[in-house]
Amino acid sequence: MTASRPLADPRHSPNDDPFDIPFDLPAAPPRPGGIAARAAALARPDHAGQGRGVYLDGLNPEQRAAVEATDGPVLVLAGAGTGKTRVLTTRIAHILSLGLAWPSQILAVTFTNKAAREMKERIGAMVGEQVEGMPWLGTFHSIGVRMLRRHAELVGLRSGFTILDTDDQIRLLKQLLQADAIDEKRWPARLLANIIDGWKNRGLGPQQVPAGEGAAFANGRGQKLYAAYQARLKALNAVDFGDLLLESIRLLRENPDVLAEYHRRFRYILVDEYQDTNVAQYLWLRLLAAGSRNVCCVGDDDQSIYGWRGAEVDNILRFDSDFPGATVVRLERNYRSTGHILGAAAHLIAHNEGRLGKTLFSKGESGEKVTVTGAWDSQEEARAIGEEIEQLQRKDHALGQMAILVRASFQMREFEERFVTLGLNYRVIGGPRFYERAEIRDALAYLRVIASPTDDLAFERIVNVPKRGLGDAALRQIHDHARAAQLPLIEAARELAASEELKPKVRLTLRDLVGSFDRWRAQMTSLPQNELAEIVLDESGYTEMWQKDRSADAQGRLDNLKELVRSMETFENLIGFLEHISLVMDVDGGAGGDAVNIMTLHSAKGLEFDTVFLPGWEEGVFPNQRALDEQGRAGLEEERRLAYVGITRARRRAKVFFASNRRIHGLWQSAVPSRFLDELSEKDVEVTESRGGQGWGGGQSGRYGYGPSRFDEAQTFGSSYSTPGWQRAQNASRAGGAGASGGFSGGSFTDSRPSRFAASEKARGGGRLIEGELIARSSGPAARFAIGNRVFHQKFGYGEVVSVEGNKLTVQFDKAGEKKMVDSFVEAA
């Protein structure tokens, strides 16, 4: 009913581009004298002729070549820090200025919303408001949605289809598994979701799944389940993320007329981070690019780090054969890092085989050498890094210009603990995203039910959240009735509540709930969506549920809800908001003060810092053992690329660390320094000792005790526990492995980090997504707490002060155990 109403797209307002209004458009290029020509005139300096705009000034010859090669396929191999985004954005400005295409005739695809935002901003800076006329600048997925909404019926959907997130996906699959009586222990829904995702990434529909693979899940039922899942999605008028591409491809393949329309439309296609594209994205691009053939892909094979989620480095390696006659431009002049950093990184990445090969160079100074520091264990590693940070801080280096890049998030904990003790400001970037938090999804589920009453998954999610006595039994009845009567869940619930079939108590609550939804829905048109949301959260008892919750992160969750409501303001209406949120579910965090950044190497891609700390360079951790076990040589190469990405994030200082002992899953394990350490060029590296730690290696032949050519023994990657390194490490651990524990350990971290989102303006600046911010304010004058005081800590929850020394407290937390910290981290409870 309501759901089939086409959705307005809140992101793009109509513009004066005459071609954007009717979708059918003439093939003729814009006439000179149009907007583009005017823009060109603006971009052109008065004294220069030949249509060369000011925007070209300051580009190096290769960059300029990449910008000016407008015709035919172009591959830009852009090494780290070589001005890739600049080329991309300038190229678009160039096309517009020359009047080669209208803004709406350019398809510019990125991977993340953030990248799309940045690109839009930078283009805007060059060409002004013309950028507003670029409706086809966005992520693969958002553009996919756009196409599907226009032609939904052609792929068996109605235009108002909903987009399921991973959570919905899994719940749906669970139902299918249950219906098929498949043991969820042996065959978890999560696994099936991943498998299906994998197929979709490779552009495979249920019918195209290779027989062997389809049989791999649940004794041969994988393929059947996939088909059932797709059927269920269609019935719900829903798609998952993978479908956005897969269905777009199907749309284009099965409807030549539609494809032809897009061919006429897209005169220029640009793709960012091409090394991260998966097969589906590649197929999609190839379909669209077959029109004008003016496709320009920018990427860096050395920075392909998402193979595990379907990215095909091959796409970039094969570009030349996919698009014969392609112009290939290499950007090798690095503007970011000093010579030593570049040298070390280049030497490392040279150990990879499957690469196109680039040699970065900089004309800048060689700067400080990359340091490699060994620590006894991970605590000392954290201590050493903390000290270095404080030293830099004393020399007036901004904390925000330092980053700790870890391989896996479990490594973060050590640093957080240390920094809390030191009173060092830090922020964790990445981690669970805003929209993944339970409270946000719950809130959204309420809104989804209001906006589209047929959204069964959303209804199911919140029938009993907060607890209102509608448990499994009640839900099953609703389900049964819904199936029998062919009704959406909420309508089934309505009928049940009116009948005598339920226990009086349940019947009343259910009637209440349905009534509430009716009431809210009636208010949808009369109230601004943010006010409505507030009312809903209030009247449903959802806010109250968290207010009553005494756990450490309850406050954070309430804050998140507030932030959600606040972020709704900028949208036209509820529908517009929901449409946006299903694809762009991130929120810009404010800058949040000066703080050290802690994040994974993956989330560091694309960023840069003056100083980069790279801890945990040990075999097994980095390169990650599992990557090695599961992916073999390919896994190792991807890990190496990850290392390369890490080092090249640094502008002036890259500081690598490893620990000889590390506690993994509670057990102390001795560790062998990472083979990647050996792969850093010696001339660019300085080996230092961690203060007080005997570190590792030192004077032996081969810097860390084993030959420089461990890489040659490629066959033994899997488990190299018999290598000399391991044996020596084991001896070392026997000599002194214990005793290093001490200090504080028992800290329990909840997975969701409480966060405070500073107020932020919509899509301003390079606003970073900052999550789980935990910033210490400078501590007040005198001791603010006394022994015995009850205090509250954002991460550890409630506790009692055990001792006070100046502004340092020891607190016994109810849940997290005893911690030492600076008093500014806690507040009176």
Partner DNA sequence: ACCATTCACATTTTT
Partner DNA sequence: TGTGAATGGT
Closest CA to 613 of 597, 625, 624: 597
Backbone angles phi, psi at 48, to 5 degrees: -95, 145
Query: Distance between CA atoms of 660 and 643, rounded to whole angstroms?
Result: 19
Q: Binding residue for DNA (CB under 7 A) from 22, 666, 699, 788?
A: 666
Tell which positions 61-120 bind DNA, by CB under 7 A: 111-114
Tell which positions 202-261 bind DNA, by CB under 7 A: 241-242
Q: Is there a catalytic annotation at residue 734?
A: no
3-state secondary structure at position 408? coil
Q: Binding residue for DNA (CB under 7 A) from 19, 361, 711, 749?
A: 749
What DSSP element (H or E) covers 86? Answer: helix 84-97
Is the Cβ–Cβ distance between 29 and 267 less than 8 Å? yes
DSSP category for residue 403: E
Residue 763 in the binding site for DNA (CB under 7 A): no
Segment lying near DNA (by CB under 7 A), choices 319-327, 338-346, 624-632, 775-783: 624-632
Paired tokens of 478: 């609703």
Q: Is there a catalytic annotation at residue 455?
A: no
Query: Distance between CA atoms of 466 and 102, rounded to whole angstroms?
Result: 51
Paired tokens of 53: 């705009």
| Per-residue mark of binding to DNA, 436-475 (x: CB under 7 A) | ----------------------------x--x-xxxxxx-
Three-state SS string over 154-198 comes to: HHCCCCCCEEECHHHHHHHHHHHHHHCCCCCCCCCHHHHHHHHHH
Q: Binding residue for DNA (CB under 7 A) from 85, 750, 810, 824?
A: 750
CB of 458 to DNA, least distance (A): 17
CB of 489 to DNA, least distance (A): 16
Q: Is there a catalytic annotation at residue 710?
A: no
Residue 354 in the binding site for DNA (CB under 7 A): no
Given CA atoms 179, 182, 186, 191 in this order, what sign does their dihedral have?
A: negative
Question: Of 165, 240, 261, 272, which residue is the catalytic one?
Answer: 272
CB of 146 to DNA, least distance (A): 11
> Strands (DSSP E) along 556-640, which ranges?
596-600, 609-614
Question: Of 44, 64, 84, 756, which residue is the catalytic one?
Answer: 84
Which amino acid would we find at residue 112? T
Closest to DNA by CB, 112 or 611? 112
Closest to DNA by CB, 541 or 747? 747
Query: Distance between CA atoms of 452 and 718, rounded to whole angstroms?
Result: 51
Closest to DNA by CB, 187 or 446? 187
Query: Distance between CA atoms of 540 and 203, rounded to whole angstroms?
Result: 42
| Per-residue mark of binding to DNA, 419-438 (x: CB under 7 A) | -----------x--x-----
Residue 583 in the binding site for DNA (CB under 7 A): yes
Segment lying near DNA (by CB under 7 A), choices 49-57, 74-82, 256-264, 595-603: 595-603
Is the Cβ–Cβ distance between 811 and 819 less than 8 Å? yes
Closest to DNA by CB, 372 or 474? 474
Q: How far apart are the first and last CA of the chain?
A: 50
Query: Distance between CA atoms of 305 and 307, rounded to whole angstroms?
Result: 6
Closest to DNA by CB, 599 or 650? 599
Residue 723 in the binding site for DNA (CB under 7 A): no
Paired tokens of 695: 């570190």
3-state secondary structure at position 491? helix
Residue 284 in the binding site for DNA (CB under 7 A): no
CB of 175 to DNA, least distance (A): 13
How many residues form the binding site for DNA (CB under 7 A)?
54
Q: What is the largest CA-CA distance in the chain?
A: 85
3-state secondary structure at position 670? strand
Q: Binding residue for DNA (CB under 7 A) from 716, 748, 803, 812?
A: 748
Segment lying near DNA (by CB under 7 A), choices 204-212, 214-222, 440-448, 661-669: 661-669
Closest CA to 373 of 381, 365, 383: 381
Closest to DNA by CB, 126 or 412? 412
Query: Distance between CA atoms of 777 and 541, rounded to whole angstroms?
Result: 34
Paired tokens of 138: 């966005």
Closest to DNA by CB, 113 or 337? 113
CB of 789 to DNA, least distance (A): 24
Closest to DNA by CB, 60 or 603? 603
Q: Is there a catalytic annotation at residue 303?
A: yes
Q: Exposed, middle or buried by CB within 10 Å (0-12, 13-18, 19+), for 531?
A: middle
Closest to DNA by CB, 559 or 586? 586
Is the Cβ–Cβ distance between 415 and 426 less than 8 Å? yes
Q: Is there a catalytic annotation at residue 338?
A: no
Query: Distance between CA atoms of 777 and 800, rounded to whole angstroms?
Result: 21
The dihedral region occupied by 663, where left means phi > 0, alpha psi between -120 and 50, and beta the remainder, is beta
Q: Is there a catalytic annotation at residue 454?
A: no
Question: Of 640, 649, 753, 795, which residue is the catalytic one?
Answer: 649
Residue 191 in the binding site for DNA (CB under 7 A): no
Closest to DNA by CB, 28 or 667? 667
Segment lying near DNA (by CB under 7 A), choices 249-257, 490-498, 581-589, 653-661: 581-589
DSSP category for residue 534: H
**Do strands 790-793 and 797-805 pair parallel, antiparallel, or not at all (unpaired)?**
antiparallel
Segment lying near DNA (by CB under 7 A), choices 13-21, 621-629, 676-684, 705-713: 621-629
Question: Of 162, 281, 303, 401, which residue is the catalytic one?
Answer: 303
CB of 718 to DNA, least distance (A): 13
Question: Of 168, 247, 261, 273, which residue is the catalytic one?
Answer: 273
Closest to DNA by CB, 323 or 435? 435
Tell which positions 131-190 bind DNA, by CB under 7 A: 139, 141-142, 165-166, 184-185
Paired tokens of 41: 């005139």
Residue 686 in the binding site for DNA (CB under 7 A): no
Backbone angles phi, psi at 313, to 5 degrees: -60, -30
CB of 99 to DNA, least distance (A): 32
- How big is the CA angle at 517 (ends 516 and 521), to the nearest 5 degrees? 120
| Per-residue mark of binding to DNA, 596-615 (x: CB under 7 A) | ---xx-xx------------
| Per-residue mark of binding to DNA, 381-420 (x: CB under 7 A) | --------------------------xxxx----------
CB of 48 to DNA, least distance (A): 38
Residue 665 in the binding site for DNA (CB under 7 A): yes
Q: Binding residue for DNA (CB under 7 A) from 207, 391, 547, 745?
A: 745
Closest to DNA by CB, 243 or 534? 243
Q: Exposed, middle or buried by CB within 10 Å (0-12, 13-18, 19+), for 666?
A: exposed
Residue 543 neighbours by CB under 8 Å, 6+ apart: 537, 558, 561
Is the Cβ–Cβ distance between 195 and 222 less than 8 Å? yes
* Helix segments in 488-590, DSSP class H: 489-498, 504-523, 529-539, 542-548, 554-568, 574-583
CA 297 vs CA 58, 118, 249, 316: distances in Å: 22, 17, 19, 8
Token pair 């954070």 in the structure block, residue = 556
| Per-residue mark of binding to DNA, 301-330 (x: CB under 7 A) | -------xx---------------------
From the annotation, which residues make up the binding site for ATP?
A: 78-85
Tell which positions 465-524 bind DNA, by CB under 7 A: 467, 469-474
CB of 190 to DNA, least distance (A): 9
Catalytic residue numbers read 84-85, 272-273, 303, 649
| Residues engaged in binding DNA (CB under 7 A) | 111-114, 139, 141-142, 165-166, 184-185, 241-242, 308-309, 407-410, 430, 433, 464, 467, 469-474, 583-586, 599-600, 602-603, 624, 626-627, 630-631, 635, 639, 663, 665-666, 745-751
